[in-house]
Amino acid sequence: MMLPKQTFFFLCLLADWSWANEAHRRATNETVEYMKFLETRTFFRKRQDNQRLIHSLEAKLKNANFSSGNVTLQTNNIQSLVFKLTCDFSGLTINSSYLEKAQTRHIMQFPTELTQRACKAREAPQELRLICIYFDMKYFFQDDDNSLLLNDNILGASLVNHSVSSLRQGINISFWHNESLERYDLTCVFWKEGAGKASWGAWSTAGCETILISSYQVLCHCDHLTYFAVLMKLSSTEISMELLAPLTYISIVGCSLSTVASLLTILLHFYSRRILGCFPRTFNLGIIEHSSCLTWMAIEGFNLYLLLVRVYNIYIQRYILKLCAFGWGFPGFVVLLLLLWKSSAYGRYEIQIKTSQENDANSQNTSICWIKSMEIQWVFVMGYAGVTSLFNLVILIWAVKMLHGLHCREKKWESRICRDITTVLGLSVLLGVTWSLPFFSFSDFLLPQLFLSTIFNSLYGFFLFLWFCAQKRHSDLEAETSSSLQMIRTGLQSNHSPLRSPQPSSLTCSASPVPPYGTSHQEGGVEEDMAHPET
């Protein structure tokens, strides 16, 4: 029995439609599975593999057999869109509302001239395919500097088999953020392949213009197709010339005074050691502590905690050796671990110095070897310094509280005020409390913090000189008192026992800011020996 031609034609259409649907479903599933593969294994690959993986995703979207005109594929952090265009293209706007899993809002606008160059070619294509890929993760596009990106969003677009550049109208990409961006310097960039050393590319600003629509929106106007993003850098707080001049003078005067005071401290130290005939190792040890000063400031706070808070039963075997191992070993271990984890963490860090006047604006750059990643700076610099400053500040408050308690029990406490002020000042310098002032550089605290931080930190050497002089005077008074008591005791012993020879007086050499280990404290008429860490 012969089938009618209409029925046969209908069956052919049905088979062709079924085959197209099956091919579309297969291509969709394969592409989505590959996008999931990219998401789940980001931390187990090398940066050099990212170029191959991104190009593989582009090839799948390019060669996939999609039956429908427009296709949207989504995973948690990667979304892909495919549009079929013709030569009568009239423009296209892609909104993040198309994507159900988009974390933040963004818009891409393509001009009408997008397809003109391709359609003017000798063999004008019947169909053009526009591929747009949205990454909600910056792992695949990390440059050598590990730059900070707005929302970690990268928007990419390409016209299959055609290069699009030097557009007159340009492409507009809008990025939004949920919080104000006033504290950041924002720059629109595109990914330039082959421009990086450790990575497969680098971010470049060529052909892109940055337009700040509001404190929550950034508009990027670019003349080509590629992957786009917005670089973020914490903006340096601009200081007017009226404030910069006095701050500069304070720094010059304070640092000059500290330099002279530090030299006097060194000369007085060696002079006093020469007279007493003993040279302790603590002063020489402090000369090489600068390379790990944060850790050693924390150690000073811990040592003061043992002396003031615990007091009893604080003997620690090989105490100095353990402190040295921690003071230099821990910072070295952290730096080594950071270099092994990310060798590009350290590098040349550019600092822009601005000098602005009414009719003149000059800027110059200076560079230092520093941590280039903002995330690493927050954890290893701001976080570590913040914890150390907080710990030492608590110890200082505890010491002031104990001094106040001693005043309450004394009748004539006025005579100790000057000495206690010197003690608190010396402890503040010793514990590095003044270095915690930059943590208050925000809002209304910015201006007072600038002056207080400049004054205190520039006079650091002068404060150390005052601290040394106060301790030297206190040590001399103790030596005179000890010598007088020894002479009286010797005279009494000679009167009662003429045959016993007098004992030579013993003077201790101490330049430590805290009482020497093994000092006896007398309180309420009862003398108690304190057991201190082993020296």
Domain CATH for 430? 1.20.1070
**Domain annotation covers residue 114:** yes
Answer for the pair 126, 120: CB distance below 8 angstroms, yes or no. no
Which of 203, 221, 207 is CA-nearest to residue 148? 203
Please give the pLDDT value at position 43.
53
Q: Do 172 and 275 lie in a common domain?
A: no
Do residues 184 and 317 both lie within one domain? no
**What six digits make up the tokens of 351?**
């600092």
- For residue 450, is it left (φ>0), alpha (ψ between -120 and 50) or beta? alpha
278 and 166 both lie in a single domain? no
User: What's residue 466's pLDDT?
Assistant: 81
Closest CA to 216 of 253, 174, 263: 174
In a domain, 516, yes or no: no
User: 3-state DSSP call for residue 389?
Assistant: helix
Is residue 506 situated within a structural domain? no
User: Is 286 within a domain?
Assistant: yes
User: Can you give the pLDDT at residue 40?
Assistant: 77
Evaluate whether 465 touches 426 at the Cβ level (below 8 Å): no
DSSP string, 297-345: HHHHHHHHHIIIII-SS---TTHHHHHHHHHHHHHHHHHHHHHHH-GGG
* Coil, strand or helix at 72: strand
Residue 501 lies inside a defined structural domain of this protein: no
How far apart are alpha carbons 302 and 296 in whole angstroms?
A: 10
Structure tokens belonging to residue 36: 């999931």
Domain hosting residue 74, numbered range:
13-234
For residue 467, the model assigns a pLDDT of: 77
Query: Per the structure block, which two tokens stand in for 68?
Result: 């429908």
Q: How far apart are CA 92 and CA 79, in angstroms?
A: 18
pLDDT reported for residue 408: 65
Q: Assign 180 to helix, strand or coil.
A: coil
Place of tokens 């005077």: 473
Burial tier of 180 (Cβ tally within 10 Å: 0-12, 13-18, 19+): exposed
Q: For every one of its 535 residues, what pLDDT tens digit does the chain have, with 9 covering 90 and above?
A: 444 555 545 445 444 445 445 655 777 788 888 888 888 765 545 666 788 888 889 888 888 776 666 888 888 888 888 888 888 888 898 887 666 656 678 899 999 888 888 888 756 666 788 999 999 888 888 887 778 888 888 999 999 888 888 888 889 999 988 888 877 888 999 999 888 777 888 999 998 999 988 888 999 999 999 999 998 876 655 566 677 788 889 999 999 999 999 899 888 888 877 766 554 544 444 444 445 677 888 888 888 888 777 766 677 888 888 888 888 888 888 888 888 877 777 777 766 555 544 444 454 556 677 777 777 777 877 788 888 888 888 888 888 887 777 666 665 556 667 677 767 777 777 788 888 887 777 666 778 888 888 888 888 888 888 878 877 777 777 667 766 666 666 665 555 544 444 444 333 343 344 443 333 333 333 333 333 444 3
What is d(CA 158, CA 224) in angstroms, rounded to the nearest whole number?
9
pLDDT score for 372 = 72
Q: What pLDDT shows up at residue 415?
A: 60
Residues 464 and 362 in one domain: yes
pLDDT at residue 369 in the model? 78
Is 258 part of any domain? yes
497 within some domain:
no
Sign of torsion over alpha carbons 63, 65, 67, 72? negative
Single-letter amino acid, residue 94: I
Domain's final residue, options 234, 257, 274: 234
Distance CA 172, CA 51 (A): 25
Of the candidates 234, 255, 282, which is a domain's last residue?
Answer: 234
Residue 314 lies in a domain: yes
Q: What is the pLDDT at residue 257?
A: 93
Q: What is the pLDDT of residue 414?
A: 60
Q: Looking at the structure, tell me whether residues 135 and 188 fall in a common domain.
A: yes
User: What is the Cα–Cα distance from 58 to 132, expressed in whole angstroms?
Assistant: 9
Is the separation of the CB atoms in 304 and 514 below 8 Å? yes
Kindly state whether residues 262 and 225 are assigned to the same domain: no
- Where among 201, 234, 267 does a domain terminate? 234
> Among 113, 98, 88, which residue's Cα sits nearest to residue 165?
113
d(CA 8, CA 150): 58
Task: Map residue 404 onto helix, strand or coil.
Answer: helix
Q: State whether 276 and 169 are in the same domain.
A: no
User: Are 341 and 485 contained in the same domain?
Assistant: yes
Q: Are 396 and 427 in contact (CB under 8 A)?
A: yes
CB atoms within 10 A of CB 508: 13
Q: Which of 84, 399, 463 is nearest to 254 (CA)?
A: 463
211 closest CA partner among 68, 109, 64 = 109
Alpha carbon distance 137, 43 (integer Å): 12
> Given this model, what pLDDT does residue 11 score?
47
DSSP state of 178: S
Largest CA distance in the chain: 149
Pair (202, 221) in one structural domain: yes
On the 0-12 / 13-18 / 19+ scale of CB atoms within 10 A, 274 is exposed
Same domain as 267, residue 222? no
Per-residue confidence (pLDDT) for residue 250, from 0 to 100: 92
Same domain, 366 and 382: yes
**Strand positions, DSSP E, 323-454:** 346-356, 361-371
* pLDDT at position 515: 41
189 beta partners: 229
User: What's the pTM value of the predicted model, to 2 decimals?
Assistant: 0.55
Cα 99 from chain centre: 33
Q: Which pair of tokens denotes residue 38?
A: 């990219």
Please state, in angstroms and rounded to a whole number, the distance separating the CA atoms of residues 111 and 344: 39
Residue with tokens 């001094």: 403
Number of separate domains in the chain: 2
CATH number at residue 230: 2.60.220.50
215 shares its domain with 316? no
